[in-house]
Amino acid sequence: MPLLKVTIDNIEVEVEAGTTILNAARQIGGSVVPPAMCYYSKLEGSGGKCRTCLVKVAQGSAKDPRPMPKLVASCRTLVQDGMVVQNTTSPEVMEARGAITEFLLLNHPLDCPVCDQAGECHLQDLSYEHGLEETRTVEERRTFEPIDIGDKIKLHMTRCILCYRCVMVADQLTDQRVHGVLGRGDHCEISTHIVKAVDNDFSGNMIDVCPVGALTDQTFRFKSRVWFTKPFDAHRECSKCSGKTVLWMKGDEILRVTGRKDKYGELEEFICNSCRFEHKELNDWTVTGPRVIERHSVISQNHYETTAFSKLKKG
C-alpha cells in the first residue's frame, strides 16, 4: 500500500492508509499534536466525544481539494492523500478549543487543591493552555456525591468529563460489564448499575485511563501530592499481566502503583489489580530505574534525579 501524504501545520508526514489525523500528528510530534481527552488508542471505539482535538481540514485531499465545512475530530477522521490540516495555525481551531475547554470546566468543581489527580490531570493541562482567564459562568455547578466502585476505586462524578474511557475499559477488558452511563445530557452519570462493585482483575485500569480526577485509587487517596512522589519503572513475575509497572515512591515507601504511560498519557499495557493494589512492598518488585515522564504537565516539572534511584538501590 502506498503511503498517504498529509500536511499538518505546514509539516508534511507520510502515513499508512487508515491513520487518523491525530495519529498522523503524533508521528510528527511536538506542538502540532492536538490534545485528546477521550480518545485512547487501546480502547476500541473511543474518541470523538470531548471535541478538544477538533482541527480544520483546509484541503480534503489531492483529488478533492475542497475544505471540510466544519472542524473535525482529528481522532476519528482518517487522513486522505494530499490532505492539508491546520491545528495551532488556525485561529478558528484555537478559538474552538478555548470554547471546548470552557464547556469542560463549566460544571467542573475546580477542586484541584484537594484532588488526587492534580499534577497529572489532562483537564488541568488543557485549561492552563486554552482556558480563559476569568470564568464567564455564575450558574450553580452540577454536583454528585462521591461513590465507591468496589473497595479500591473512588468515583467523583462531579469531576467527570464523560469521556467514556472507563466505560470502555469495563466493556472491553473485563468480562462482565457492570459499569455504564446512566441518564442524559448534563445529568449523565457513570454508574456501576448502581451499587454492584466492579469486581474484576483489570478494573483498576479505569483509574489509569481517567483523564481527570473522577476515578482515583482508594489505596493512594490523600497520601501525597503526585509531584512529591518519585516514579520508578519496576516489574515482577505476574501470572495475570506483564507485571511491568511504575512505582510512585516517597522515600522507601511505595505510595501507588500504576501502569506505564506514554507521552500522551496512554498506558503502554494494562496491568492487573493484584500488581496495582496488593504489592506495595519494595521487595515485591525489581526496580529498574527512574521513570522519565515525557508528557508535559505539572509532574514533569519535577527532577527525577538518578541520585534518588541510587539511594534507593543502596536501600
Partner 1 sequence: MAKQILLKNIEVPGLAGFDVYRRLGGYSAVEKALKGYTPDQVTDEVKKSGLKGRGGAGFPAGMKWSFIDKKSDNPRYFVCNFDESEPGTFKDRHIGQLNPHQLIEGMILGSYALGANAAYIYIRGELFYVLNIIEKAINEAYKNGFLGENILGSGYSLNLYCHPGAGAYICGEETALLESLEGKRGNPRIKPPFPAIVGLYGCPTVVNNVETIAALPWIVNNGGEAYAAIGTGASTGTKLISACGHINKPGIYEIELGLPVEEFIYSDEYCGGIRNGNSLKAVVAGGSSVPILPADLILKTAKGEPRLMSYESLAEGGFQTGTMLGSGGFIVMDHTTCIVKNLLTFARFYRHESCGQCSPCREGTGWMEKILMRIEGGQGTMKDINLLTDIAKNIEGNTICPLGDAAAWPVASAIRHFREEFEEHVKLQKCPF
Residue ranges in contact with partner 1 by CB under 8 A:
47-52, 54, 70-71, 73, 76, 96, 99-100, 102-104, 106-107, 136-137, 139, 142, 161-162, 164, 180-181, 183-188
Q: What is the closest distance, in whole angstroms, from the C-beta atom of residue 285 to partner 1 in the complex?
A: 39
Q: State which residue, 210 or 246, has the beta carbon closest to partner 1.
A: 210
Q: State which residue, 42 or 142, has the beta carbon closest to partner 1.
A: 142
Q: State which residue, 93 or 272, has the beta carbon closest to partner 1.
A: 93
Q: What is the closest distance, in whole angstroms, from the C-beta atom of residue 220 to partner 1 in the complex?
A: 28
Q: What is the closest distance, in whole angstroms, from the C-beta atom of residue 52 to partner 1 in the complex?
A: 8
Q: State which residue, 69 or 113, has the beta carbon closest to partner 1.
A: 69
148 by DSSP, 3-state: which? strand
Q: What is the closest distance, in whole angstroms, from the C-beta atom of residue 5 to partner 1 in the complex?
A: 21
CA distance 181 to 190: 5
What sign does the CA torsion over 117, 120, 126, 131 have? positive
* Grid cell at residue 69: 465545512
For residue 304, the tally of other CB atoms under 10 A from its CB is 17
CB 250 within 8 A of CB 228: yes
Q: State which residue, 79 or 104, has the beta carbon closest to partner 1.
A: 104
CB 123 within 8 A of CB 114: no
Q: What is the closest distance, in whole angstroms, from the C-beta atom of residue 54 to partner 1 in the complex?
A: 6
R_g over Cα of the chain: 20
Q: State which residue, 109 or 282, has the beta carbon closest to partner 1.
A: 109
Q: What is the closest distance, in whole angstroms, from the C-beta atom of residue 180 to partner 1 in the complex?
A: 7
CB 217 within 8 A of CB 207: yes
- Identity of the amino acid at 110: L
Exposure class string for 54-92: b at 16+ Cβ within 10 A, else e: bbbbbbebeeeeeeeeebbbbbbbebbebbbbbbeebee
Q: State which residue, 48 or 131, has the beta carbon closest to partner 1.
A: 48
Q: What is the closest distance, in whole angstroms, from the C-beta atom of residue 122 to partner 1 in the complex?
A: 13
DSSP state of 241: S
CA distance 153 to 223: 15
Q: State which residue, 183 or 251, has the beta carbon closest to partner 1.
A: 183
Q: What is the closest distance, in whole angstroms, from the C-beta atom of residue 89 to partner 1 in the complex?
A: 19
- Per-residue CA distances from 262 to 40, 199, 265 (Å): 12, 27, 5
